[in-house]
Homo-oligomer: A and B are copies of this chain.
């Protein structure tokens, strides 16, 4: 049985490289609960059982072709809880010391890394070396250098690296992207991304430079940046950025509270973005074109996205973002499906290169040219 599974699994891996590999070809057991959905079921282990990991774990229960089969955590009590809740066998539970052994576990296809940012680099590379596909929560790493090493490691290990860009699968977001691609807005002129919230507990890892690698920009500002890229549909050619800090106690050295950044695109379109950990009521995308506009508000929250264009309200229905993301990622991994907006390591790397430049521009005040 084990060798058959191994064989089938290898088949699946090689199939993943072929675009449009027919999803009607189920390679191993379908989750019996989800037999309405065709295609290979992606068997996932979650690494990092914190708040967002918990949310993803719950969302996977709604999935058509993803099953939560394993966990990796440094806290035995958490593992016990998850085992009980999701019926996870002991043999699929790992800690941060022994998870390299996952290479010998034929029942896990992929690991979703949902740990503090500073840990992504090493953990993703270890998962890749264990021969498993990796889904890495955003930001993919602390900087572009790390990101590049992760992309290379996954390429060398012949595993997929995907980044947890849940908005890339969100239906109203894609409705706007689709309209832009069809030309409904005409030539794109301007994008505005306001991404922020007022962060609570001052002791959380997101406010620890060593673990987060920065502040709001890494965590929430990345939505505005990433949104600018997929909404405008181009890679920026220049940027400027300005940092403002009002609370030196909460936002220590290297942890950004508020950053405004501006992007220019080869077409002449411009973007104006705000990233902040110190404001509420900020979750809006606005796209302006010669023939029309789109607005999403909220644009990135976990709940239903709402929006309208010059033609009326956006109508695509809400589904749990993380469930949609995971189902689509199964299609990307097993069927070579190409998402409308990329979610691979190269995509994550593009954001990291720009974030590096944003931090540099905040320090030097320079207008930086970007090479995409």
Contacts and interface: CB of A to CB of B under 8 A. Distances in A.
Interface of A: 189-190, 192, 194, 198, 240, 242, 244-246, 258, 260, 262, 264, 267-268, 270, 272, 274, 276, 278-282, 288, 290, 292-293, 310, 365-367
What is the interface of chain A mostly: helix, strand, loop, or mixed? Answer: strand
B272 A274 contact: yes
Contacts of A240: 240, 242, 365
B288 A310 contact: no
A288 B279 contact: yes
Contact of A272 (B190, B260, B264, B310): B260
22 contacts: A189-B276, A189-B278, A190-B258, A190-B279, A190-B282, A192-B192, A192-B194, A198-B290, A240-B242, A240-B365, A242-B270, A244-B264, A244-B270, A246-B267, A258-B270, A270-B274, A272-B272, A272-B274, A281-B288, A281-B310, A365-B365, A365-B367
B365 A366 contact: yes
Given A192-B194, A366-B365, A282 B274 contact: no
B268 A242 contact: no
A71 to B, nearest CB: 39
The 8 A-B residue pairs whose C-beta atoms are closest, nearest first, are A246-B268, A281-B293, A189-B279, A365-B367, A244-B270, A260-B262, A260-B272, A279-B288
Contacts of A242: 240, 262, 264, 270, 367
A278 B279 CA distance: 30
A276 B268 CA distance: 13
A189 B264 CA distance: 25
Copies of this protein in the assembly total 2
Contacts of A280: 288, 290
A282 B278 contact: no
Contact of A260 (B198, B270, B276, B281): B270
Nearest to A287: B281
Contacts of A264: 242, 244
Given A190-B276, A246-B267, A260-B262, 5 more contacts: A272-B272, A279-B288, A279-B290, A281-B293, A282-B288
A185 to B, nearest CB: 10
A281 B258 CA distance: 27
Contacts of A260: 262, 270, 272
A95 B278 CA distance: 57
Nearest to A244: B270
A310 to B, nearest CB: 7
Contact of A274 (B190, B245, B274, B290): B190
Nearest to A274: B272
Contacts of A365: 240, 365-367
A278 B268 CA distance: 11
B281 A268 contact: no
A240 B262 CA distance: 11
A191 to B, nearest CB: 11
Nearest to A258: B270
Contacts of A192: 192, 194, 274
Nearest to A268: B246
Contacts of A293: 281
A361 to B, nearest CB: 10
A189 B258 CA distance: 10
A258 B190 CA distance: 10
Contacts of A272: 260, 272, 274
A134 to B, nearest CB: 36
Nearest to A238: B242
